[in-house]
Chains A and B, each alone.
Chain A
Amino acid sequence: MGLKRCLRGVLPASAGLFLFLCVTLLSVTPGLAGGQSSDEKAVPILTGSAGYFNFVTAGQNEVNAQINPVLLVPLGDRWLVESRAEFEGAFQRPPDGGSYGGMVSKNLDYLQADYIANPYLTVTLGRFLTPFGIFNERLYPIWIRSLQQDPLILPLSAESSDGMMLRGGFPVNAKVNLNYAAYVSAVSSGHSNLESDRNVGGRVGIFLPGPRVEVGASWQKLLQDERTHSFGFHFAWQPTRLPLNIHSEYARSNHGSGYWIDGAYRLSQVLFWQKALRRLEFAGRAEQFFSGQISPDEAEALELPAANTREGEFGLNYYLHDGLKAVASYGRQFSSAGNLNLWTVGIAYRFAVALGRAGSQ
């Protein structure tokens, strides 16, 4: 009676759905191993990215230096403990002149334990990147993203959540893969390095390996304050005949809505100056944000535009070496609060070192 009352009174429909998913996945008897091969013992590694950028926004220069170490510690065939921290220094010259000054922010993006339960299910516990859309989880690292400016709609969903997540990917048939993530964030923290909200949500995606197309949808319900809903859709396409990557997202919450679409084209098929041009990539992004029920102060705190905004950006990336790229881009932002130019120039580096005997290559 107590538990029944507790479940009826406490669990919203969304959390009930999450529980249903748990039970359904548990009913799958793991006939396959799920864990990783044991003839190559995984070794702990320290990887991540470091970057130095100059962001010039409406004529104001910001010197940005950051390092984002990622620690990966495999345990046995089925466990992985992983963590990413973000140390970012953003320095600007005061309006009345003088030397550059600013803050160094420190954030723990994720610290999670993953358990690969079976081929269909991985259980994650701890602080994890919120699986809403694709940018936050997959495209965020500076060595991966094709343009260094964040999309305008990125703050519409929580970047990190503290709680539990179930996720996985499996083939539905030879032509279709399905991936999913469902999570509950149980901790509300306003601590500047560990921000998170209590929420529940999920994402489902369908990937077609033949045409290399992925489409998906995300949903999130806040379990505190206004208990609002957010939802979004994502799309990714990598044509088989062209070195082109296209990504897009749409998101909507009570704070606003919007979309972005970006494309990156690597000049690896050009027949002349191949040695130099195959390292060059053109990137472009178009995006729009529609302001929601939010005051300008709240918008500023959430790092959202205070008014309806459109933006176009074009950039060049040059891969000097594996994991090392030079970037430059120009963007123009149009808004009722004022139009402005966005210039970016910098360098991003991805590193990886083994914390143990790595074996021969």
Chain B
Amino acid sequence: MKFKCLVITWLLALISVIGAASSAPRSRTATEAAVYSPAEADAMRLEGEKRFRANCNRCHAAPHKFPPRMMATMVRHMRVRASITDEDMRYILYYMTQ
């Protein structure tokens, strides 16, 4: 009985989370930006490298760069695993793919 109540509570919470998030509007992201000037792109890469060193190098050495679609998956995995912030993830993905 206790266990069922607990499960029902968490399921209700999960449904609410998904419902709330699904209605959120999408916005433009760092890597979705269509065109950067060379100066902007350099600045983004530098910032991405800085954030890569601060976040990723805390646990492991820098891997060599993988193809962009693989990096997209790996960065998403690390976002969850290492609780990397949304902004950090976008800069790191840009640095690792551009």
A residues within 8 A CB of B93? 36-37, 40
Interface size class of A (residues with CB under 8 A): 35 or more
Contact residues of A: prevailing secondary structure: mixed
* Cβ proximity bits B55-74 to A, threshold 8 Å, 1 near / 0 not: 10111110111111111111
> Is the CB–CB distance between A34 and B54 below 8 Å?
no
> In the complex, what distance in Å separates the CA atom of A357 from the CA atom of B73?
13
> In the complex, what distance in Å separates the CA atom of A324 from the CA atom of B56?
18
* Cβ proximity bits B73-98 to A, threshold 8 Å, 1 near / 0 not: 11111011111111111100100010
* B37 within 8 Å of A (CB atoms): no
Closest to B2 in A: A10
> Is the CB–CB distance between A214 and B58 below 8 Å?
yes
> In the complex, what distance in Å separates the CA atom of A238 from the CA atom of B73?
26
> Is the CB–CB distance between A37 and B90 below 8 Å?
yes
- The one of B9, B55, B75, B83 that contacts A167, using a Cβ cutoff of 8 Å: B83
Interface size class of B (residues with CB under 8 A): 35 or more
> In the complex, what distance in Å separates the CA atom of A37 from the CA atom of B98?
14
Q: Which of A42-50, A300-308, A334-342 contacts B (4 or more CB under 8 A)?
A: A42-50
* A32 within 8 Å of B (CB atoms): yes
Contact A358:B70 (CB < 8 A) given known A179-B83, A209-B51, A245-B58? yes
> In the complex, what distance in Å separates the CA atom of A205 from the CA atom of B61?
22
> In the complex, what distance in Å separates the CA atom of A171 from the CA atom of B57?
19
Closest to A210 in B: B54
Q: Which of A58-66, A101-109, A137-145, A285-293 contacts B (4 or more CB under 8 A)?
A: A137-145
Contact A123:B66 (CB < 8 A) given known A37-B29, A80-B80? no
